[in-house]
Amino acid sequence: MSVQKESDCRTDHAGKLMPVAMMVCVVLVLLNCYEWRHYYIDDAYIGFRCINNFIAGSGFVFNPGQRVESVTNIGWLLFVTPFAYLWPAHLAGKIAGLVMALIAVVLVCLLGRLIDNAVASEADKSYLGVMVPILVFSEPAFQYFSLSGMETAFLTCLIALMALAADRIVLVAVLAGLAFCIRPESIILFPLILLLRKSTTEGSRRLVSRQVFVAVLVWGAVILFISAARFAYFGNVLPNTFYAKPSNALGIIVRFLKLCVGERINVAFPFTCFFCFPLMILGAVTLQKKVPTIFSTFSAATLLGLLFAVYAPEDWTQMPRYFAPYLPFALFLLFTGLQALIDLAISSWKIWFRVLITISFLVTLLFFRVEQLRILRSDARETYPGYVLTSEILLPAVTEMSGFIGEGEWVATRRIGLLGYSGKFRVFDYVYGLPDREVIEARFSNGQKFFEEPGDPGLRELWLKRRPGYILEDRSIIGSPDSGSRLELNVHGMKYVEIKSYPLGKKESWVLLKADR
C-alpha cells in the first residue's frame, strides 16, 4: 500500500471514530450537568460575589472598599461577567462552564483524531481518539469543577487551541499570555513550549526565526499588560490567593516524594502509579517524531500540571483540582506511550500489548467512576469536604442568615463563598485572608501561620479593628457547649453568644454567634 493510501485509510478510520467519541462525551457531560445542576464548589461563589459587586458598581472585589484580587481565576470570571447581565452570576457560571465543557469535547476529539492518524499503522489501528476523550469526560475532577463554576474546561480549551494552532506561533503566544490571566502558573507555559520545540529539528530552526522572536515579544507584551492592569487595579501583580495559601520548600519536597512513590497529592490515578511516567515519556518521544508541534504543547501542559501539583499545598477538596485542566494532555501522552509499545514489540507480543491498552482503559474508567461515587454520592455530601464541595447543604443556612444580618455588618468565618454571595454583609476571612490583605500581613508577622481560632493572639489588633458582629464556624472547630447550654466565647475582650445552629449532615453543624454589645 502506498503512503498516500495508507494515510487515507488511517484518516478514514479516525474520522469514523470521532463522531462516536463526541457523542459519548457529550452524553457524559449532559448527564453530569443534570446530576450536579444544584452543585457549586464554595470557592466558585467567591468569584460570583466579585462579579455581582462589579455589576453593582462596587468594583471587582469581594468586600466593597477592599481593593483585593481575592480570586485566582479572574480571566475566567471576566469571561462569565457578560452572562451575569442576563442571569444570576451562579447560573451564568454554570451555563458558561457547560458551554466550555462541550467545546472541550470537540477540541479533545479533534486532537484525538490527529493523534490517531499519526500513530496508527495499517496493521495496528489506534483508538486513542475514542479512549482518551471518554476518560477525560469521565474523570470526576475535570467534570465536576468544569460544571460547578470553575475555570477548568476554559483553560483546557485554551491549551487545546494552542495545540491545534501550533504552526502559528504568534497565536500560540497570545493564547498562552491569556492563560496567565486564567491561572497564574500558566506564565511558564509558553517558555516550556519553546524549550520543547527546540528539542525537535523543525523547532530548533524556528526558535531563532523572526516569527518566533515576534511571538516572544507578543507573549511578553500580553504578560506585561495583564500584570500592569492587576497592579493598577489591585495594587499587586499577583492574586491575593498567592499569599493567602503559600507554599514552602519543605512542603514541595514532601509532595514531590509522595508523587514519586505513588501517593495521592494534587494528582490522582493513573498518574500516581510508578510505571506511568516512563510510559508518558515514551508517548512524548513518539509524538515528538510524528507530530512535533502537538508534542511540545502536550508535554508543556503536562509538565506544568505536575509542577503546579507539587508546588501547591494539598487541596482541601481532596480532589486533583489543580491538575484537572491539564488532564487531557497527560492522558494523551500516557496512552500514546502504551500504543507505542505495540510498534516496539515483536510480532508474537503485539496482541498482549493491545490487551494491555484495553485493560488500562477499562481499569482507569472504572477507577474514575468509583471516585465519582465516593466523593460526590449523597452521603458523602454530609461530611467534610462534601458539604463545602457541593454547597447544597449550606444553602438553607446562608439564606436564613442573609435575611437578618444587616448590610455592612462583619461576619467572621472561614466558609466565605456561598455566605458572601448570598448576603449584603461583609465577610471577615480571619483564617486565610483570601479577600483581606491585612489578615495576610498579620499572618506573616506571626510566622505565616493560619489563624485556626478566632481567639489567636496574632488576630487581636485586627479583630478589634473589624469588631465583627457575628462569628460563623463549624461546631467541631469552635468547640461544643455543655449539655443544654448555649455556646459562649470571649474573643479579644468581646463576648459572643450562640444564637443559631444549623445542621450540616449527620456529624457536623454550623454555629452562629452574635456579639453581646
Weakest-pLDDT range from 89-98, 314-323, 444-453? 444-453
CA-CA distance, 414 to 160, in Å (whole number)? 36
Of the candidates 179, 40, 54, 53, the residue with the CA atom closest to the CA atom of residue 98: 40
> What pLDDT, on a 0 to 100 scale, did the predictor assign at position 206?
47
CA-CA distance, 116 to 125, in Å (whole number)? 8
Of the candidates 258, 385, 386, 278, the residue with the CA atom closest to the CA atom of residue 337: 278
> What pLDDT, on a 0 to 100 scale, did the predictor assign at position 437?
93
Per-residue pLDDT for 379 more than 90? no
Alpha helix (H) residue ranges in 56-127: 74-84, 89-119
Alpha helix (H) residue ranges in 139-209: 140-147, 152-164, 169-182, 189-198, 201-207
Check: CB of residue 44 under 8 Å from CB of residue 64.
no
**Strand segments (E) across 383-484:** 410-413, 426-429, 470-474
| Beta-bridge partner residues of 511 | 473, 501
pLDDT digits (tens, 9 = 90+) for 336-347: 999 988 888 777
CA-CA distance, 301 to 342, in Å (whole number)? 25
pLDDT digits (tens, 9 = 90+) for 156-188: 999 999 999 988 999 999 999 999 999 999 999
Q: Which amino acid is at 29?
A: V
Q: Which three three-digit cell numbers place residue 124?
A: 495496528
CA-CA distance, 263 to 267, in Å (whole number)? 9
Weakest-pLDDT range from 58-72, 265-279, 426-440? 265-279
> What pLDDT, on a 0 to 100 scale, did the predictor assign at position 209?
80
pLDDT digits (tens, 9 = 90+) for 92-148: 999 999 999 999 999 999 999 999 888 876 556 778 999 999 999 999 999 999 999
> What pLDDT, on a 0 to 100 scale, did the predictor assign at position 480?
64
Check: CB of residue 176 under 8 Å from CB of residue 162.
yes
> What pLDDT, on a 0 to 100 scale, did the predictor assign at position 342?
85
Q: Which amino acid is at 50?
A: C
Chain mean pLDDT for the chain: 89
Check: CB of residue 309 under 8 Å from CB of residue 301.
no
Cα Dmax for the chain: 88
Higher pLDDT, 3 or 361: 361
> What pLDDT, on a 0 to 100 scale, did the predictor assign at position 123?
56
